[in-house]
Structure 1
Amino acid sequence: MSLASPFSLCVVAMTALAVLGLPIGHAMIAGSILYLALAGLDMGTAAEQILNGMYTNYILLAVPLFILAAELMNIGSMTDRLLAFCNAIVGRFRGGLAYVNIVQSIIFAGMSGSAIADAAGTGKLMQQMMTRDNRYPASYAAALTAATAVIGPIIPPSIPMIIYALVSNASIGYLFLGGVVPGLLMALAQMVIVFLDARRKQFPVEEPTPLRELPLVTWRAFPALMMPVVLLGGIYSGAATPTEAAAVAAAYALLISIVLYRSVSFADFYRSILASARTAASIGMLITGALVFNYIVTVENIPQSLSIILRAWELSPLGFLILVNIVLLVLGCVLEGTTILLVVVPVLIPTAQALGIDMVHFGVVVVVNIMLGLITPPYGLLLFVMTRIAEVPMRALVRDTLPFLAAMVAALALITSFPGLVLWLPRAFGYSG
């Protein structure tokens, strides 16, 4: 391909605009329009691709709805009640608050679907709890909070999996199920690191919750604990589509917070709507730019060309997945996860299909890689988020994050090598892949 070809100039323009500070979604749209102009194609194609992509993908509505559900949870007392429940379960062990941080990430994973939302919401509360009275070093608490937030979009629901389903046509319901075991495996890997650190660094032991109080703590948290049941039960029973289930999740969070817990004012509700709209708009702009750019990638036959090249290497399915892991982990150091899902992954899917790799297994591997990119130096987005929240130096945060990252990469290796870890649960619910 010539360096002066329309596609090369399109990529150069996109990269330059992004480096200059233009949001990546806007940069993709601008670069794509430049390509259409240089290639002599109808300029209306850009608008056509955006409209067709948006109007034919009802599932995209699930993204802002899950974001809204997370915001509504954070403004109500649902978060406090769930953290009290987690503390009653695992807070009594050495390093108890560190275990609480991990367990809450598993529970909250069934509610927001966003790692950033988890870190900014419950993660911020956990940071404050762990550093109160100097119980834990601020950098360690921030590192653990960033690592546990990664679990959120792996255990259902998952906004990245919704976006992967958009580009791959894989079943969202089975993707959600496929993320359960890998998500728990990641949590186990984090617990191993905490177990070793707790004894080596002599982390404090929290005052245990008396067993007689456990039923009351559980009862107070029960409505919030039922949210994942309502959400996932609606999807897997066939009573609701993922989009409808996302709407139910948002409505349930609002109902519980206002009617039952009575902890949300109108001003809080209004702020949550605004915050959700801003986040959804930024994701929507990324999707919009990717729809046009993916049309250009298809016109240029890039997925097919890459598939031919990779097949010439005679890679086995496992060899291809290892290559994908390396590529995505490296890209995750410098690119935002949604961009990778919308721009890079569609190029890899034809090769994966040609090698007979299951699209649910491939999707979970891709999402885990992208989530690990959020805590991978130098540009992991969660690292920047936690630096602001915890007010700790980036160097100290990265140092304390690396053991958790290494443990989760080991879990990723297991998920990649043994597809059954991902596909067991979907197959139990009727998946034939």
Structure 2
Amino acid sequence: MSTAFFACLVVLFFLAALGTPIALSMIVAAIAYLAVNGQDLSLAAEQIIQGLYDSFILLAVPLFIVAANIMNAGTISDRLLNFCVAAVGRFRGGLGHVNIVASLIFSGMSGSAVADAAGIGKIIIEMMTRNGRYSPGYASAITAASATIGPIIPPSIPMVMYALVSDTSIGYLFLGGILPGLLMGLVLMIMNSYIARKRDFALEEPVPLKKMPKLTVNAFPALLMPVILLYGIYGGVTTPTEAAAVAAAYAFILAAVFYRALSWKSMYEIMSYSAKSSASVGLVIGGALIFNYIVASENVPGKVAGLLSAIEISPLFFLFAVNALLLVLGCLLDASTIILVIIPLFIPACRELGIDLVHFGVVAVVNCMIGLITPPYGILLFVINATTGIPLRDIIREIWSFLAALVIALILMILFPDIVLWLPRMFGYNG
């Protein structure tokens, strides 16, 4: 390790420990590296500009953010929830199942776990805690856990980021996330059923079946959004970035024209909030682009790959070791930081060991999403705490069962790659 790289790491971890935003920590650490190395400091700005200019795929990020915020602002979330209550609310622990199914559906629109938790999550927590049917801690915990599905089923902002650093097909990554997302929903519903029986949760009054057609019709236009998105990408009609633009436009038409739920004022607030969110994500990506230049300059990926070749590690052991490391890092670091800074270190090793990059990418993103609910730095726990006022300690007390269920799903994805790769192969992927 060179002196400059050591200085870079010291500055990065020092600033992060002080609570400095991770994007600023990476940029300042990169400048420290360039200064110690005697390189032109303007190189940092050059790396950001070139990286962003050359990455057309990154335009998908703000467009998916806009689509998610429009969905949250309109009455679309309410219509989807009414549909889910009618479909699965009649079983024991029914509103818990509604929570999970709603996240599965909403994940096909937002691509963001935070958008899911802050939007539809807040509504269903109020439903679950009404009249004391579920404790606030339990309602919040299952909401946080189900929100992790959001970035797994397409569209997915984290997978767009992974595609950027790995040069992997975003279309096949999106396809690879569908079955893992459904698996995550299944294990959460099994855990919710177990806890519901154990705690003897009350049964909800079932919605009459004669109301199902009307509720389905009300929700149908919203349910079409992921279908349109996937057909656009896999039917060869649009690129992933163009599909993101279509998703944003469809969300706007749906909310403003079909449901008539948007005003000019609310639209201004949506665009303003989306711009701030996009700028925040862009700053993290910019910092990662400089950091990736430093990592490449130090040949860190080559050294890691050489080390693995020397010790003749098996691909399965490597996957388990990397995922164990990512689970630990998920307790401390933001998911974007792990995807943009940590995961690229292992991509050359994956190629060396013959590990499929679509499989590795989907598994790594699932791992990072589990990190979003892992104390002490589970950002989804903080989001729900901030939006509902439910004490953090109550949420953490209830989160462990759902955390264990998601880890089991992650292990199954590692052991059985076809869970990830079956759908991509059906659409012509040769990995």
TM over 0.5: yes
Equivalent position of 1:101 in the other structure: 99
Aligned AA (2:212):
L
Distance in 1, Cα, partners of 2:384 & 2:201: 21
1:344-363 to 2 correspondence within 5 Å?
344-363=342-361
Contact 2:291/2:341 (CA < 8 Å) preserved in 1? yes
Aligned AA (1:391):
G
Equivalent position of 1:33 in the other structure: 31
Distance in 2, Cα, partners of 1:134 & 1:210: 24
Moved over 6 A (4+): none
1:89-238 to 2 correspondence within 5 Å?
89-238=87-236
Post-superposition offset of 1:384: 1.2
Equivalent position of 1:404 in the other structure: 402
Contact 1:142/1:397 (CA < 8 Å) preserved in 2? yes
User: 291, 305, 308: which one pairs with 2:306?
Assistant: 308
Equivalent position of 2:268 in the other structure: 270
Contact 1:317/1:357 (CA < 8 Å) preserved in 2? yes
Post-superposition offset of 1:23: 1.5
Deviations 1:138-169 (A, max 9, x none): 00000000000000101111100000000000
Aligned AA (2:117):
A
Contact 1:139/1:390 (CA < 8 Å) preserved in 2? no
Equivalent position of 1:425 in the other structure: 423
Deviations 1:274-311 (A, max 9, x none): 11111111110000011011101100111111112222
Deviations 1:83-105 (A, max 9, x none): 11111100111111110000001
Unaligned 5+ segments in structure 2 are: none
Contact 2:111/2:156 (CA < 8 Å) preserved in 1? yes
Post-superposition offset of 1:175: 0.3
Aligned AA (2:322):
V
Comparing 13-22 and 80-89, the one that deviates more: 13-22
Deviations 1:222-265 (A, max 9, x none): 11111111111111101001111111111111101111111111
1:320-335 to 2 correspondence within 5 Å?
320-335=318-333
Comparing 17-26 and 273-282, the one that deviates more: 17-26
Give the 3-state SS of the residue equivalent to 1:110 in structure 2. helix
Distance in 2, Cα, partners of 1:50 & 1:172: 22
Post-superposition offset of 1:388: 2.2
Distance in 1, Cα, partners of 2:54 & 2:384: 37
Contact 2:103/2:116 (CA < 8 Å) preserved in 1? yes
Post-superposition offset of 1:208: 1.3
Distance in 1, Cα, partners of 2:124 & 2:32: 47
Task: Please say if 1:52 is aligned against 2:54.
Answer: no
Comparing 408-417 and 14-23, the one that deviates more: 14-23
TM-score (norm 2): 0.98
Distance in 2, Cα, partners of 1:390 & 1:132: 13
1:370-385 to 2 correspondence within 5 Å?
370-385=368-383
Task: Please say if 1:69 is aligned against 2:70.
Answer: no
Distance in 2, Cα, partners of 1:112 & 1:306: 35
Comparing 35-44 and 104-113, the one that deviates more: 35-44
Distance in 2, Cα, partners of 1:294 & 1:80: 42
Aligned residue-pair number: 431
Comparing 367-376 and 5-14, the one that deviates more: 5-14
Distance in 2, Cα, partners of 1:257 & 1:289: 35
Unaligned 5+ segments in structure 1 are: none
Contact 1:14/1:31 (CA < 8 Å) preserved in 2? yes
Give the 3-state SS of the residue equivalent to 1:207 in structure 2. coil
Contact 2:136/2:394 (CA < 8 Å) preserved in 1? no
1:282-293 to 2 correspondence within 5 Å?
282-293=280-291
Post-superposition offset of 1:317: 0.6
Distance in 2, Cα, partners of 1:333 & 1:255: 39
Aligned AA (1:177):
L
Post-superposition offset of 1:123: 0.5
Give the 3-state SS of the residue equivalent to 1:111 in structure 2. helix
Alpha-carbon RMSD: 1.0
Deviations 1:175-216 (A, max 9, x none): 000011111111110011111111111112222111111111
Deviations 1:342-375 (A, max 9, x none): 1101111000110000010000110010000001
Give the 3-state SS of the residue equivalent to 2:109 in structure 1. coil
TM-score (norm 1): 0.98
Contact 1:138/1:390 (CA < 8 Å) preserved in 2? no
Post-superposition offset of 1:65: 0.5
Post-superposition offset of 1:19: 2.4
User: Once the two structures are aligned, what percentage of the paired residues are identical?
Assistant: 58
Equivalent position of 1:7 in the other structure: 5
Equivalent position of 1:280 in the other structure: 278
Distance in 2, Cα, partners of 1:250 & 1:32: 35
Give the 3-state SS of the residue equivalent to 2:191 in structure 1. helix
Task: Please say if 1:250 is aligned against 2:251.
Answer: no
Equivalent position of 1:392 in the other structure: 390
Distance in 2, Cα, partners of 1:266 & 1:130: 32
Contact 2:172/2:429 (CA < 8 Å) preserved in 1? yes
Aligned AA (1:310):
L
Distance in 2, Cα, partners of 1:100 & 1:418: 28
Post-superposition offset of 1:59: 0.4
Distance in 2, Cα, partners of 1:377 & 1:259: 42
Aligned AA (2:288):
A
Aligned AA (1:116):
V
Aligned AA (1:152):
G
